[in-house]
Amino acid sequence: MTPGPGRPTVSVVIPVLDDAPALEGCLAALAAQTRAPDEVIVVDNSPGAADEATAALARGAGARVVRETRRGVGAASAAGYDEARGTVIARLDADSRPAPDWVETALRELADPRVHAVTGPGTFYDIPGLRGLLAALAYHLPLRAVGWSMGHPPLWGSNMAIRTCAWRAASEVVRRDDPLVHDDLDLAFHVGERHHIRWLLHTDMGISMRPFGSGRSFARRAWIGARTVLDDLAAERGEPLDAEII
């Protein structure tokens, strides 16, 4: 797609680790967008040999495949952001199911020159009814609370878009090589230092409950998030990183 004068271009980045079946649904949802992305980048984060099933699926859908062998969603996401050619980088996970107007909504919000990144909540498409709503609230309220501790909204990698210039400004300071860093919160911390992040309440994004299927998994994610924010705050004050969390 050739951009017109002044027209923003959108690169969608999807980090993937051996997850072709989920990715298929995500790519199908992107193909149904009212405003098609200009490129889709699938980052294969398999530690050994390339994941040929994921690569074939991605290329068959018109996506560009990038290999990142350093383990961790932070390294994989950053590799995709670095490769992005668009003026806006949108981020999804393989199990994300964006509404048809997801790209269009992000661009409409980013048309405000004061806004450099947008993000919002999601709902669990595999937990129906009231139980799913309560599960989504239980997940997102702590995330918002973490954002308040930083003084601005957090970013959530299953549903976010950021100006490429804001990523470039933060790319040298984000901790992309530490698998125990919550990459979304680390990026939000550094972007929010100089740019405005807008939290959108009414985004229609479906996600899978599978990463949060056990209490242990949820607790680990919460620990990583808290550790990330405490380390970033400590670094801002010139203190040692890796603050201990009890």
Indicate the angle between helix axes 52-60 and 20-31, nearest 10 degrees.
Answer: 10
pTM score: 0.86
CA torsion 143-42-71-18 (nearest 10°) is: 100
pLDDT digits (tens, 9 = 90+) for 126-153: 887 877 777 777 777 777 777 677 788 8
Given this model, what pLDDT does residue 134 score?
Answer: 78
Beta strand 88-91 with 64-67 is unpaired
Q: What is the pLDDT of residue 246?
A: 25
Q: Please check the confidence at residue 37 and state whether its pLDDT lies above 90.
A: yes
CA distance 14 to 209: 18
Q: What is the C-alpha separation between 78 and 56, in angstroms, rounded?
A: 22
Bigger pLDDT: 128 vs 206: 206
Exposure string (b/e) for 162-197, b if CB count within 10 Å is 16 or more?
bbbebbebbeeebbbebeebbbbbbbbbbbbeebbb
What is the overall mean pLDDT for the chain?
85
Kindly indicate the confidence band of residue 237, based on its pLDDT and cuts at 50, 70 and 90.
low
* Beta-carbon count within 10 A of 60 CB: 10
Sorting pLDDT into bands at 50, 70 and 90, what band is 243?
very low
Could you tell me if 199 and 140 are in contact, meaning their C-beta atoms sit under 8 angstroms apart? no
Tell me the C-alpha distance between 105 and 169, whole Å: 24
